[in-house]
Amino acid sequence: MTQKQAFSLLKSGVNIFLTGEAGSGKTHIINQYTEYLNLHEIDFAVTASTGIAATHIHGMTIHSWSGIGVHQELDDDELKHIAENRYVAKRIKKAKVLIIDEVSMLDGKILTLVERVCRKIRKLKVPFGGLQVVLVGDFFQLPPVAKKGIAIEFAFDSDAWQGLMPVVCYLTEQHRQEDKKFLDILSAIRSNTFDEIHFENLSERIISQEELPDDMTRLFSHNTNVDTINMRELQKLPGKTKLFVMAARGPETLTDALIRGCLSPERLELKEGATVMFTKNNTNQGFVNGTLGTVVGFSAGTHYPIVKTSAGTRIETEPMEWTIAEGDEVFAKITQIPLRLAWAMTIHKSQGVSLDSAVMDLSGTFEYGQGYVALSRVRTLAGIHLLGVNARAFQVHPLVSAEDERFRDASLLAEKEYDLLSPERIEEIEKNFIVLCGGKQKKEKKEQKKKGKSAEKSSEKIREEYPKAYAKWTVEEDEQLKKLFHKGVQIHEMTEVFGRKRGAISSRLKKLELTS
C-alpha cells in the first residue's frame, strides 16, 4: 500500500494498523495525519509503548496516558480508581483519536488493559469506547520485554486487537534504503528466507578490530559495552571536559518517564573532538535524530558545543525541551543539549534512528529482531561494518513471520475494497468523520480548486522530466547539495542528481546562504 492510500484510509475514521518495513514512512504518515487532525480541530493523543519511542514522536507512553502505570492486570476496584482520576478521565474523554506507536513492543495484556480503561471512562460498550485507534509498528522489530516468569503476548494476539479488528495498511514504498542488494538481505530476514547467498553478501562487510573506522557509531546488544566504550574514548581526548546537566520541571513521576525515554543523558560530558549524535529533530538548524558529528569547540558566549556534522555543517547546539503535554498545557518537561556520545549505542536505543554508516557487533544478539533492527538503521550495505555475527542475528519470531503473511493479505484486500469507492464517496466519508469528531470542515473556494487542478496537470508534466519537482527538500539532500556546491559541480549537472529544475536548485542554494 502506498502512503497516499494509507493516509486516505486514516481520514475515513476506521481503526488502522499501520505497518511496513523500516524506512517505509510510518512516522511520516502519522505526522501528516496529526497535522490533518490539527487543521480540522480534532482532539487526538499520540502515545508510544516505550519512553524512547514516545520522545521520538513528542508524545507520552500509553501507560501514562491511560493511567495504568506499572499495572500488569486490573481488578474492578483498581479500574474504578483509574477512571475516577480526573486528569486521566479528562484526556480520555476529550480525545477522538488514539495513536499508539511501536506497538510491536507493547505486551498484548497491556493493550487489553488500556482498552478496558477507555471503555470504562467513555461509557460506551464498543472497543476503546469508540475512539479511532491507530496502531503503528513493525513486529519484525524488537518484541515486548518479558517480565521474569511471565510469557509475553504479542499485541495482535490480544483480546483488544481481536475486538478492534483494525484495517491493515502495509506500506510497501521504501524511503531509507535504495541499495537493492541490501534491501534483498533485509527482505530475506523478514521472510525467513535468509540463505548462503545473503550471508555471503553480508560477510563482505565483516572487518577486524584493526580495520575499525574512526569516529563511526558502533551498535551493541548490551548496554555495558556502550557505556564502557563511550567513556574510554572520551577520556582518550586531551583538554577539559565540559558538563551539561539536564534540567527537569514537573511531577517526579512524569519527569522520570521523560528522562528514561530521552536519548540525551542527565549528565552530558563533552570534549573537543568527541563523536556525538543529535537526539532530536531540528531541520531549520540542519539536524535530525541520528545526525552524526564531532565537537569542534564551544561557543565563547554561551559555552554551548559547536558540532561539525559528517556533511561539514557547523552547528552551535543549544538546549532543547522534551515535554509531556496535551494541547497548550505542559505537564512536565526536561531540558538538555540534544546530543549524546556516539562512539557506541545499544541496538534498543537505535530503534527509530537513521544512520549513514555504523559498526555493529551482532555476535551477542540474544533477542528476535535485534539483528534486523541494527541492520535496518543504516541506509546502504556499504555503510555497514560488521565485527561479528551469530545465528540468532538473522532470526525472526516464528509467530510474527506467520502473522505477517496475514497482514499483507489483509492490506491488499483493504486496498481493493477502498479502490472501489468513488472520489465523491471518499470525500463524503471523510467529512462525516470530521463531523462525528466535532471538528471543523476545511473550506476551499471553487477558484482555488480550479487553480489546484490546473496546477496539478502542469505539475505532472514537469515531474515526468524532474521526478522530485515540488517535493520538500530533505536534510540529506541539503547536505549533498552543499558537498556538490563546494566541489564546484555546476547547477545543470545537479538537476540530474536531484531530479529537480535548475530554478529550484538555485533557490535552495540561496536559502542555504551558499549563493546571494
- pLDDT digit string, tens, across residues 454-471: 444 455 666 666 777 777
SS3 248: strand
- 339 Cα distance to chain centroid: 17
Say if residues 189 and 372 touch (Cβ distance below 8 Å).
yes
Calculate the alpha carbon distances from 482 to 294, 447, 488, 514 in Å.
18, 39, 10, 8
What is the predicted pLDDT for the residue at 375?
87
Q: Which residues contact 190 (CB under 8 A, 6 or more apart)?
A: 21, 140, 372, 396, 401, 404
What is the predicted pLDDT for the residue at 450?
47
pTM: 0.68
> Residue 313: phi, psi to the nearest 5?
-80, 135
Helices then strands, each counted (H, E), the chain: 20, 20
In this structure, which amino acid lies at residue 268?
L
Neighbours of 416 (CB within 10 A): 9
What is the predicted pLDDT for the residue at 271?
94
Calculate the alpha carbon distances from 406 to 18, 142, 169 in Å.
14, 20, 12
Q: Rounded mean pLDDT of the chain?
A: 83
What is the predicted pLDDT for the residue at 224?
65
Cα atoms in the Cβ-side hemisphere of radius 13 Å centred on 479: 19
C-alpha cell read off for 460: 505532472
Say if residues 67 and 85 touch (Cβ distance below 8 Å).
yes
What is the predicted pLDDT for the residue at 395?
80
What is the predicted pLDDT for the residue at 82?
87
Q: Residue ranges per domain, the chain?
A: 3-174+400-436, 212-348+358-363, 446-511
Calculate the alpha carbon distances from 454 to 236, 427, 447, 448 in Å.
62, 20, 11, 10
Helix axes 196-203, 180-190, angle to 10 degrees: 130
- pLDDT digit string, tens, across residues 261-294: 788 999 999 999 999 988 887 877 888 777 888 9
Q: What is the DSSP letter of 302?
A: T
Say if residues 139 and 370 touch (Cβ distance below 8 Å).
no
Q: Which residues of the chain have pLDDT under 50?
A: 444-452, 454-457
> Residue 54: phi, psi to the nearest 5?
-65, -40
What is the predicted pLDDT for the residue at 150?
67
> Looking at the domain covering 3-174+400-436, what would its CATH class be?
alpha beta
How would DSSP label each residue in 420-449?
TS-HHHHHHHHHHHHHHTT--PPP--HHHH
Pick from 222, 187, 169: nearest CA to 362? 222
CA angle 8, 39, 352 (to 5 degrees): 65
